[in-house]
Amino acid sequence: MEFGWTEDEEAFRCELLDFLRETLPQDWEEIAKDGPGSDVQATFSREFCGLLASRGWLTQHWPREYGGRDASPWRHAILGEELWARGEPRGPQYMNVNWIGPTIMAFGSAEQKREHLPRISRGDVLWCQGFSEPQAGSDLVALRTLATRDGDAYVVNGTKIWTSYANYAEFCFLVVRTDPESKRHRGISVLLMPMSLPGVEIREIPSVVGERYFHEVFLSDVRVPASCRLGPENDGWSVVTYALQFERVGAARYARAALTLDGLATRLAKEGRLEDPTVQEKLGRARAICEAARLLSYRVIDLRAHGQPPSADSNVARVAGTFADRVVGELGLDLFGPDAFEYGGFAESNFRLAMTAGVAVGATEVQLNLIAQRFLGLPQE
């Protein structure tokens, strides 16, 4: 056990920070305030990910045969930490490199790997994820979107919801039911669906989180080539659970929360409020929570670095990250009061992004169930 960085990791972080200073525009903080799903960030991400890719950093943790450099998971974690601490200039592409690519590596056909992995590795493709449905939220296996085999294609009908980035994405990691008689975990398959197919319709769901944050994706008789199926027919649940283990800690949200907290402290210092012991206590509390989330996320990366299979440690890290997001989001409002009411301000922007923390990517309650049963060994209800 030790908590240091290797020389290589230190050097990489320095090089990365130099690169970010040169690459990110002066007004980046302003651009970043709407989060990875905003128009500017999604657009910027194509250029930026291309630059990361040309340095060999975008997918450095991937195997060489798929466009990576066999780099340690720690180097990729450093990348994620520094980028999330700057509002994630990769935009939606953090999903591609963290879990969509690795899931295609694990389950994809040779043709699928050839089609998708080089593009992800070059940083010029956007994806969205088709998981939730109006009747299948936390209870994902209640999903109903039906893919009926017809010759060399699946005819897909159904509705996906809460789909971030659907408006930009070229592909959707789509979870469907291929056996209409099936129940729950059986009969599910995954399709790598081009969003340009006829019958795919996207509608924005206006929300308080921000513009173009949520979408509904309507699928009406969409003919998806059977060659787009990822993994076995009717056993797609194994693909989904594999992907979710990566997704849950893929985003270094603790780094964003910690950055926001530093930003709050800087603003409080300007107002001379850091002398206030109550303010100090609130900031100290939030900082400690962010730090715990950092180490619990590191624990998951450490397991990966040791070649361990995904475990409930990723749920522990996810819950800790949610605490951090929530505490910092709420604190910004507490400290600035009605000044935070104005849309687009620092505390307000962060609050908007933070308030979805316990719901996005699986409700906290589901994470707690998994911790109870798999981490603590408690009996199923």
Interface positions with other proteins (CB under 8 A): 1-5, 9, 74, 262, 265-266, 268-269, 274-275, 277, 279-285, 287-289, 291-293, 295-296, 298-299, 301-303, 305-306, 316, 319-320, 323, 365, 367-369, 371-373, 375-381
Q: What is the nearest approach in angstroms of other proteins to the Cβ of residue 241? A: 19
User: Strands 200-205 and 127-130, how do they pair?
Assistant: unpaired
* Shortest distance (Å) from residue 294 CB to other proteins: 9
10/204 with CB nearer other proteins: 10
Helices (H), 306-362: 313-336, 346-354
Q: Which is nearer to other proteins, 129 or 322 (CB)?
A: 322
Q: How far is the CB of 333 from other proteins (least distance, A)?
A: 18
Of 197 and 368, CB closest to other proteins: 368
Q: Taking a C-beta distance cutoff of 8 angstroms, is the pair 144, 213 a contact? A: no
Going by their DSSP bridges, the two strands 146-150 and 153-161 should be labelled as antiparallel
Residue closer to other proteins, measured from CB, 4 or 337? 4
Residue closer to other proteins by CB (options 24, 293) is 293
Q: How many Cα atoms occupy the beta-carbon half-sphere of 319 within 13 Å?
A: 14
Distance between CA atoms of residues 247 and 318, nearest Å: 10
SS3 of residue 276 by DSSP: coil
Tell me how far, at minimum, the Cβ of 247 lies from other proteins, in Å: 19
CB atoms within 10 A of CB 1: 3
Element (H, E) at 150: strand 146-150
Distance CA 263, CA 346 (A): 8
Name the residues annotated as catalytic.
247
Whether the Cβ atoms of residue 35 and residue 92 lie closer than 8 Å to each other: no
d(CA 119, CA 58): 11
Query: Residue 248 and residue 213: Cα distance in Å, rounded?
Result: 19
Query: What's the one-letter identity of residue 283?
Result: L
Smallest gap, in angstroms, from Cβ of residue 209 to other proteins?
Answer: 25
